[in-house]
Chain A
Amino acid sequence: DGGITQSPKYLFRKEGQNVTLSCEQNLNHDAMYWYRQDPGQGLRLIYYSQIVNDFQKGDIAEGYSVSREKKESFPLTVTSAQKNPTAFYLCASSTSLGRSSDYGYTFGSGTRLTVV
């Protein structure tokens, strides 16, 4: 079945460490997104990519980095520069073919990151 796989489900980071969250999709979607979810704040966009080897900053990109070397993969690195990384991270994908009937994200099941 097609879908998005995020791993790991739970991740613990020590102070000063970089950690990478994985996101893989087999939906042949062009666009992929990373969102951060905090209690009471909804979902906020970190980075997004509409095509391989290209990505754009979202609203809260500071302290994060991404790559898009393959259409299927969009990993997110939480760097030591991110001062408050404890949150739930959601990856999503969508087609960008421009047909309104296709609009709508498919989400992964998320990664819970905790700083220890």
Chain B
Amino acid sequence: AQTVTQSQPEMSVQEAETVTLSCTYDTSENNYYLFWYKQPPSRQMILVIRQEAYKQQNATENRFSVNFQKAAKSFSLKISDSQLGDTAMYFCAFMIDSGTYKYIFGTGTRLKVLA
């Protein structure tokens, strides 16, 4: 069975600083996708970044980047130049390329950006 682990329930960072959120997963599959979602206080889930497992290059979206280590089954999210609007719950998610498109989510990391 596939599992996703986020070992940091809560984190805080000063505005303009950089923070890294960790995520590890367990699978025997070779083809899969990894995602980071943001859930602000409004509770609307927003896709932050996506990584295909077959791509060696780490995905980047503006201030958000990932460190994808396939052998270690690690998928951390780095937020640079943190902004107050980054305060949210962040979920790591995993999806096997099997046709069902089901996600497995981690338990989330609550990030607070401090002014």
Chain A interface residues toward B at CB < 8 A: 31, 33, 35, 40-45, 48, 50, 56, 58, 88, 90, 92, 94, 96, 98, 100, 103-105, 107, 109-110
Contact = CB atoms under 8 A, between A and B. Distances in A.
B62 interface: no
Interface string B21-50: 000000000000101000000111111001
Contacts of A33: 102-103
Given A41-B107, A100-B33, A104-B50, A90 B101 contact: no
Contacts of A105: 45, 47, 103
Contacts, number: 54
A92 B37 CA distance: 13
A110 B44 CA distance: 7
Interface of B is mostly: loop
B44 A100 contact: no
B45 A90 contact: yes
Q: Chain B interface: which size bin? A: 20 to 34
B100 A109 contact: no
A109 B45 CA distance: 7
B50 A103 contact: yes
Contact of B43 (A45, A96, A109): A109
17 contacts: A40-B9, A40-B107, A42-B105, A42-B108, A43-B103, A43-B105, A45-B103, A48-B102, A50-B100, A56-B100, A100-B33, A100-B97, A103-B33, A103-B50, A104-B47, A105-B45, A107-B46
